[in-house]
Amino acid sequence: MDFQTLLYDVDASGVAVITLNRPDSLNALNRRLVGELGQAMRAAKNDDAVKGVIVTGAGEKAFAAGADISEFAGMEPLEAHRFALRGQAIFNSIESMPKPVIAAINGFALGGGCELAMACHLRVAVDTAQFGQPEVQLGLIAGFGGTQRLPRLVGYGNAAEMLLTGDRIDAARAERIGLVNKVVDAGGLMDAARGFVESIASKAPVAVAMTLQALRAADLPLAQGLQHEAALFGQCVATEDFAEGVGAFLNRQKPEFQGR
């Protein structure tokens, strides 16, 4: 596929790497980049050869240093509302991917960049990365899901601090509060991200997709979430992968899942 603002590559092992490619602007998320990100995600979702996705940024400074501020100037309220809804829809499509999506955070993840990372299923960051939701410094609030995903990941207190002060936190604190799953040095970033994809891809694909679906219901009242989990559990039992997994376990063999 031919993109202007990102790079898209699928390697021989079935890992799709999406690289935000606006390094001169610290990979700021303009309208075109957000739209192309949605297209790339759809391509990965619909490609049976793709087992998982890694999202990262070009250059050594930034994963994505927020939305492109130049596009905000002169926005009318209705236009801004629609802008936020479009970004939310594309980030929701990342979160609802049935294949694992890993954010490989190679530098600044600020504003929309932090929101993009949170829409991914797991996050790996270099030890020099910084995270923040600085929108209040511009007279705005986070509009691509930050006010909703951040407290779900790090708790109300940590989220309120980040969203209300606009202050940045370093990778070490991000890991402590649960915003990041793993912190590595720069040389190990992509290997760590690939490690997550490969580990998940070795499991039953249908069960992985249903686990991701169940996780998205984690903010429901407990009784509803448990009902949803039980229904998905029942669906898993009807799959060929379940028969393969149980049979291989009982016979002390390695399962060969087919995603059915």
Marked catalytic residue, from 71, 95, 115, 229: 115
76, 135, 161, 240: the active-site residue: 135
Mean pLDDT, range 195-213, rounded to an integer: 90
- pTM (predicted TM-score): 0.92
* 98 within 8 A of 209, measured Cβ to Cβ: yes
226 has pLDDT over 70: yes
Which architecture, in CATH terms, is 205-250? Answer: Orthogonal Bundle (1.10)
Same fold, 6-201 and 205-250: no
Over the stretch 156-179, which tens digit does the pLDDT of each residue have? Answer: 999 999 999 999 999 999 999 999
Neighbour count for residue 137 (Cβ, 10 Å): 12
- The domain covering 6-201 belongs, at the CATH homologous superfamily level, to 2-enoyl-CoA Hydratase; Chain A, domain 1 (3.90.226.10)
Confidence band of 41 (pLDDT split at 50, 70, 90) = very high
Domain ranges, ordered by start, for the chain:
6-201, 205-250
Question: Any catalytic annotation for residue 198?
Answer: no
Kindly report the length of the chain: 260
Cα gap 258→241, rounded to integer Å = 6
| CA neighbor of 57 nearest in space, from 35, 90, 32, 29 | 29
Neighbours of 224 (CB within 10 A): 11
**pLDDT single digits (tens) 118-133:** 999 999 999 999 999 9
Active-site residue, 135 included: yes
In whole angstroms, give the CA distance from residue 229 to residue 243.
19
* Residue 156, both tokens: 């109300």
CB neighbours of residue 258 within 10 Å: 12
Please check the confidence at residue 12 and state whether its pLDDT lies above 80: yes
End-to-end CA distance of the chain: 28
